[in-house]
Amino acid sequence: MITSLDFAMLAIATVFAVAAAAALSWMFLRMAFVLMPPATARRLPPRTELVQGTAQLARAYAGNR
């Protein structure tokens, strides 16, 4: 009788442990989605300094040819 009671307690403890692990895993997954937004969430305007600088260089060298 004691052996079957010990086995039942072990089974119930295992079920609770599996439920707790699943709940923690789900919570950590939700936190990961909240903390890591997609890269397209904030669009930064493209930097045009290089394009303008290249155009200025092209104009400067075009006059010398």
- Residue 22's nearest CA partner among 12, 33, 11, 14 is 14
For 30-63, give one letter per residue: b (16+ CB within 10 A) or e. Answer: eeeeeeeeeeeeeeeeeeeeeeeeeeeeeeeeee
Biggest CA pair distance of the chain: 102
Profile the chain (65 residues) by mean pLDDT over runs of 10 residues.
Answer: 94 98 97 82 67 72 68
pLDDT at 65: 57
pLDDT at 29: 96
How far, in whole angstroms, is CA 63 from its chain's centroid?
A: 51
How far, in whole angstroms, is CA 8 from its chain's centroid?
A: 40
Decide: pTM greater than 0.85. no
**Helix, coil or strand: residue 1:** coil
